[in-house]
Chain A
Amino acid sequence: MAILADKNTKLLVQGMGRMGQFHAGLSVEYGTQVVAGVHPGKGGTKIEGIPIFETVQQAVAETGANASVVFVPPPGAADAILEAVDAGLDLTCCITEGIPAIDMAKAKRAMKGSHTRLVGPNCPGVVTPEQCRIGIMPAQITRPGPVGVVSRSGTLTYEAVDQLSRLGIGQSTCVGIGGDPVIGTTFVDALALFEADPETQAVVMIGEIGGSAEEEAALFVQEKMSKPVVAFIAGQNAPPGKRMGHAGAIIAGGKGRASDKMAALEAAGVAVSPSPATIGQTLAEHAPHLKS
């Protein structure tokens, strides 16, 4: 088991441009079943041995794909997400950075009641070690094990995973939920999935400044989680009013500060690592039985 993706996932790639092709190749190398690509205008061809279709619906009908990864540039990305929803996929991971917020607000609302789960946008994707790689993560730094990792950031996820792996602690699934203000899967959603997953025994969550997703996660942990949770919040030294790279990473109107998020998580019984260098160590101390 794992969450979101495993060896049975049949992945299709929406947007087989330079980046889509490159990462489709890496996912194939990792052992992921990449069954189709969708790229309007290139239907009927093959790229790197992957059959290309005009629409997601055609690709699903021909290949049985049940998940997609979106590399479509910002102007068409929300459209691509809704196409995945329309085709009834279980999962769509949107890697695209820079989608207009209003496009995402509309798309997310339109998805309500649908069966598709969206991860991202502006995220590195999902990796279930040795089973499935969706997105752009360097899967070689992961190793299979009992810790679920969920994060708003890309490279900081790699840092946390690397710290865990170096301590001999493997991961069940690593999920990058994305750095935008409107995202599909939230911390609360991912925590609920990890809580329900028998193979996950503890969770590392990496938050950052902006919004209130970490505070909502704290409430969820307090009320619903039985598994230990360790957190780090990036941006403790970020000035207010400045967008720190991610569209969603901004302290606005005195809200979204790292200190408030850390306090909320600590109050909920989450072990918060004070330093980005001690995320793995904090987990090892908080859940000592997991160290192999």
Chain B
Amino acid sequence: MNVHEYQAKELFRSYGVAVPEGRLATTPAEAEEAAKRLGTAVTVVKAQVHAGGRGKGGGVKLAKSPAEAKQHASEILGMTLVTHQTGPEGKLVRKVYVEAGSDIARELYLALTLDRATEDFAIIASTEGGMDIEEVAEKTPEKIHTEFIDPNVGLQGYQVRKIAAALGLDKGQAGKLDVFLKGLFRLFLEKDASLVEINPLVVTGGGDLFALDGKLNFDDNALFRHPEIAELRDPDEEDPRERAANEIDLAYVGLDGDIGCMVNGAGLAMATLDMIAVCGGSPANFLDAGGGADTEKVKEAFKLILQDEKVKAILVNIFGGIVRCDLIAEGVVAAADELGVGVPLVVRLQGTNAPEGRQILAESDLDITPAETLQEAGEKAVAAARGA
């Protein structure tokens, strides 16, 4: 789960991780008031959307007076911000964060995550702040310092000193980095974060350290023990269908094609997208109905798929292990009856109780194209979407 910059910074602050002072605004007047209250000569008005690259897209602007902050806010609020992370459709800006301007001497990079290869936590630090870190990693890997942290030992003082040395910090700054990193590490552990990224981490002219930007992701699997984090979810930032799927325990990802998919199991669901592509078609979605798929789930899944107007055909691909194909078939029939599926339906049932399931489909008065193998299912779905 992703949160906004202003939410990340509130959490940073509560863990002693230094951030500039800032206030949230949802109207230009609030932005003006926020700038007045901050009282600094310069403020920065920042669009709050779940995407990086906001500055380049025109979502971050410097204001030299409260009136100018108001003016910027009026331009940014309500704009559709397009960055390399939003996709071409962009994201509607509903909130801005007005922040005290910083006296920036240096811009550094800092991230903390769980490294899958070593299964350690990893702090990634670089002197090249404010840049695209993937590009830095590719072109100048020597400018990236990675410190691995044993999950059962935790961050040690010598590791902070190594990072400070790699970043070229002086003694006073290194002491501030110690407080900063230990706070960040505690936040990561206590709140089950999956990624903290601070780009840039700034060193001010006075030698202070600040998180000028903050990206914070949380482990969805751990939200059950952090209701206060789950509350930070911003439904406006999520695809409405993905959110609806989430609420009924289905994994759904919207795609650009025209063949709706309903599959049990994540691996088979991904493979079904691949199968459609191999057959020359294009999937409209990924949908994993899960191991516990039953009649009700199937109906809900159909509703979701049918909300997508691009869908010209639906492919149901079930390999019954735990899931019984006869129950899936009943769900398909019930859903089609109730919802009036107006597009061709290709159904492949294999595994547990598949013959019974196929019989239920055959005996219904629905126009269903059965398929035996994965290949046949892909071919028939692609043909159906083309109107063949």
Contact = CB atoms under 8 A, between A and B. Distances in A.
Contacts of A151: 267
A50 interface: no
A158 B351 contact: yes
Interface string B108-137: 000000101101110000000000001000
Nearest to B277: A237
Nearest to B283: A237
Contacts of A103: 222
Nearest to B121: A105
Contacts of B322: 136, 138
Interface stretch (A3-11, A55-63, A238-246): A238-246
Contacts of B350: 158-159, 162
A210 B114 CA distance: 14
Contact of B274 (A152, A158, A236): A236
Contacts of B271: 153, 156, 159, 232, 234, 276
B225 interface: yes
A74 B221 CA distance: 8
Nearest to A137: B321
Interface string B244-274: 0000000101010000000111111111111
A113 interface: no
A110 B151 CA distance: 9
Interface string B174-209: 000000000000000100101000000000000000
Interface in A253-268: 253-254
Given A101-B114, A154-B291, A74 B319 contact: no
27 contacts: A105-B119, A109-B150, A124-B321, A137-B321, A138-B352, A141-B351, A153-B266, A153-B270, A154-B268, A154-B291, A154-B321, A155-B263, A155-B264, A159-B374, A182-B119, A211-B117, A234-B268, A235-B273, A239-B253, A244-B253, A244-B270, A245-B265, A245-B267, A253-B134, A274-B278, A276-B275, A276-B278
A276 B374 contact: yes
B220 interface: yes
B265 A102 contact: no
B288 interface: yes
Contacts of A105: 114, 119-121, 151
Contact of A238 (B85, B224, B270, B275): B270
A247 B223 CA distance: 13
Contact of B270 (A99, A137, A209, A248): A209
Contacts of A100: 192, 219, 221-222, 225
Contacts of A159: 268, 271, 319, 350, 374
A136 B278 CA distance: 30
A181 B267 contact: no
Nearest to B151: A105
Contacts of B151: 102, 105-106, 109
Contacts of B275: 275-277
Interface string A134-153: 00111001000000000111
Contacts of B375: 275, 277-278
A98 B274 contact: no
Given A158-B321, A162-B350, A208 B270 contact: yes
A212 B288 contact: no
B209 to A, nearest CB: 25
Contacts of A169: none
Q: Give the top 9 A-B pairs by smallest Cβ distance, nearest first.
A: A153-B267, A245-B266, A155-B265, A156-B267, A100-B222, A276-B271, A277-B375, A155-B268, A234-B270
Given A151-B267, A153-B266, A158-B321, A245 B374 contact: no
A239 B321 contact: no
B135 to A, nearest CB: 10
Interface in B333-377: 350-352, 373-375
B134 to A, nearest CB: 6
Nearest to A278: B375
B167 to A, nearest CB: 21
A290 B150 CA distance: 45
Interface in B135-164: 150-152
B97 interface: no
B302 interface: no
Nearest to A275: B278
A125 B194 CA distance: 26
Contacts of B278: 274-277
A158 B373 CA distance: 13
B219 A152 contact: no
A88 B117 CA distance: 26
Contacts of B59: none
A221 B253 CA distance: 33
Given A182-B116, A212-B117, A277-B374, A101 B266 contact: no
A138 B269 contact: no
B28 interface: no
A155 B352 CA distance: 12
B270 A254 contact: no
Given A102-B151, A181-B114, A235 B268 contact: no
B378 interface: yes
A125 B335 CA distance: 32
B225 A75 contact: yes
A126 interface: no
A246 B266 contact: yes
A271 interface: no
A291 interface: no
A108 B121 CA distance: 13
B320 interface: yes
B270 A249 contact: yes
B12 interface: no
B221 A101 contact: yes
B286 interface: yes
Interface in A147-198: 151-159, 162, 179, 181-182
A234 B267 contact: yes
